[in-house]
């Protein structure tokens, strides 16, 4: 068989050759082609011998652990377009466009939503493409050396994906490991397990233990963070008289220093994935719980008027907490129901297509139907991410409420230290919330200036 090969810069790893007579398309590996480009494809595709592997490993050490193929590309002209084609984006696509395309394609080919025999394999490839292209360093390496140079063991599991999606490593000390990622991973690993029902009690006990450890660890971390204020000046008793100023001056100086560190921390966290949203959620919980405990202390100590105001504020704080939990829960359920409806509409469209194809009728989609499907896929992907975020937010706030209770109701500390903790926690919460408030105001100002 003879055919014309493309130029070297655009030559694929396989050739799709259409027969002139019967129009049948056959896929021929580039290594089987005898011609001008045979040598290069053999060099890049054939499995190296043990001697060559040893030489390559030595060369990889010199090159920082990577082997460099003879053909390289650039960010503007990648050597391999497979991952871009899988997501349906251009090589110049921004990170936000890649993320949006991934959710659309992932929702479309998820094995639970797509009955096609190759859906699972397609879903895995889409995930690989996203994890490579969304990371700036890995994308640049892929653009230069292609898929063959990618490390097969570098792709994230669901647990790691969820962690990086909502806050990343920098938020672990504040919120711990979000369990939704592990739950998703466990669900995938137990699909089709006939003994799954018998494991429920064991799983529940294990999850409870993991949550308790998470709460205890976060509580200790929060105590250490608040100690930068609580332990910065002596307690008001005769054995610890203030030195270098009055107690009020020392307290104000310690709080000023504490605020600077809190602002610095917030600035370093706001650029993480969902950084402002997480900071607001954390800050709201901190501020709410601190005000509840300050009100409780006021209700138990001091003059009658102060006790009355403390009792009133305590009731207001409890109402705020319950109302917030109810609102967030309803919002999460509503988001999940909306997502389900969109999937149902997509499934109905798919069944209609399969029904016509099964009856032997050619299935033709008009422009309106194609646009509707594309719109539903995009909306489902967006709604799916929103649902995951809302669920993660509910979990984070629930854990942090327990953490705050442990920190502010510590029986081993004096009431003065507990009051200081509550005061510092309130300040920390407001600083965290301010990040998203400022960002929202900036967006509003930009939108108003365009009008």
126-154 pLDDT tens trace: 988 998 898 888 888 888 777 765 554 44
Read off the pLDDT band of 54 (50, 70, 90). Answer: very low
Q: Is the pTM of this model over 0.75?
A: no
Summarize pLDDT for 252-297 with one digit per residue, the tens. 999 999 999 999 999 999 988 889 999 999 999 999 999 999 999 8
Q: pLDDT for 3-17, tens place per residue?
A: 445 444 444 455 555
Is pLDDT of 324 > 80? yes
Percentage of residues of the chain with pLDDT beyond 70: 72
Average pLDDT, whole number, for the chain?
Answer: 77
Q: Are 405 and 287 in contact (CB under 8 A)?
A: no
Nearest-CA neighbor of 53 among 67, 72, 37, 40? 67
Q: Which of 53-57, 121-125, 266-270, 351-355 has the highest mean predicted lDDT (pLDDT)?
A: 266-270
Dist CA 172 CA 174 (whole Å): 5
Q: What pLDDT is attached to residue 188? A: 52
pLDDT of residue 388: 85
Q: Positive or negative, the Cα torsion across 182, 185, 189, 192?
A: positive
Domains and CATH numbers, the chain: 1-44 (no CATH), 72-155 (1.10.287.110), 232-357+372-450 (no CATH)
Pick from 432, 428, 429, 435: nearest CA to 258: 428
User: What is residue 244's predicted lDDT score, i.e. its pLDDT?
Assistant: 61
Give 175's pLDDT tier (boundaries 50, 70, 90): very high
pLDDT, tens digit (0-9, with 9 covering 90-100), for 385-415:
888 889 889 999 999 999 999 999 999 999 9
> Where does the pLDDT of residue 24 fall: very low under 50, low under 70, confident under 90, or very high at 90 and above?
low
Please tell me the predicted confidence (pLDDT) of residue 446.
81
Mean pLDDT for the stretch of residues 322-348: 88
* 104, two tokens: 């659309």
Higher pLDDT, 313 or 199: 313
Write out pLDDT tens, residues 204-220: 788 889 999 999 999 99
Q: Yes or no: say if 146 and 41 are a contact pair by the CB < 8 Å rule.
A: no
């Amino acid at each position: 068989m003879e055919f014309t090969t493309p130029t070297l810069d655009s030559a694929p790893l396989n050739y799709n050759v259409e027969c002139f007579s019967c129009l049948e398309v056959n896929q021929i590996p580039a290594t089987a082609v005898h011609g001008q480009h045979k040598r290069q494809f053999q060099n890049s595709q054939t499995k190296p011998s043990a001697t060559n592997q040893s030489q390559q490993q030595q060369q990889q050490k010199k090159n920082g652990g990577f082997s460099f193929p003879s053909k390289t590309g650039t960010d503007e002209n990648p050597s391999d377009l497979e991952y871009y084609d899988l997501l349906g984006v251009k090589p110049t696509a921004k990170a936000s466009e890649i993320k949006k395309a991934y959710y659309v394609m992932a929702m479309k080919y998820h094995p639970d939503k797509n009955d096609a025999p190759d859906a699972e394999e397609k879903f895995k490839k889409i995930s690989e493409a996203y994890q490579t292209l969304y990371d700036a360093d890995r994308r640049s390496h892929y653009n230069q050396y292609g898929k063959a140079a990618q490390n097969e063991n570098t792709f994230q599991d669901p647990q790691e994906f969820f962690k990086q999606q909502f806050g990343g490593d920098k938020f672990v000390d504040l919120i711990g490991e979000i369990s939704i990622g592990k739950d998703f991973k466990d669900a995938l690993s137990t699909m089709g397990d006939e003994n799954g029902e018998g494991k429920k009690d064991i799983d529940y006990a294990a999850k409870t233990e993991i949550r308790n450890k998470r709460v205890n660890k976060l509580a200790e971390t929060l105590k250490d963070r608040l100690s930068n204020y609580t332990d910065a000046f002596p307690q008001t008793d005769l054995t610890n008289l203030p030195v270098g100023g009055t107690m009020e001056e020392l307290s104000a100086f310690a709080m000023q220093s504490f605020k600077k560190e809190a602002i610095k921390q917030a600035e370093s966290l706001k650029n993480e994935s969902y950084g402002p949203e997480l900071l607001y959620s954390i800050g709201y919980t901190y501020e709410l719980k601190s005000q509840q405990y300050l009100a409780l202390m006021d209700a138990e100590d001091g003059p009658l008027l102060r006790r009355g105001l403390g009792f009133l504020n305590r009731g207001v704080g409890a109402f705020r907490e319950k109302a917030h939990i109810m609102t967030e829960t309803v919002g999460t359920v509503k988001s999940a129901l909306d997502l389900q409806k969109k999937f149902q509409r997509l499934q109905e469209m798919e069944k209609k297509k399969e029904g016509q194809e099964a009856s032997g009728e050619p299935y033709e989609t008009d422009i309106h139907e194609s646009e509707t499907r594309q719109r539903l896929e995009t909306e489902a992907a967006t709604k799916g991410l929103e649902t995951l975020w809302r669920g993660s937010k509910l979990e984070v706030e629930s854990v942090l409420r327990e953490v705050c209770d442990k920190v502010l109701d510590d029986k081993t500390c004096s009431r003065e230290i507990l009051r200081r903790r509550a005061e510092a926690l309130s300040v920390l919460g407001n600083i965290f919330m301010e990040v998203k408030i400022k960002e929202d105001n900036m967006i509003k100002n930009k939108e108003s200036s365009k009008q």
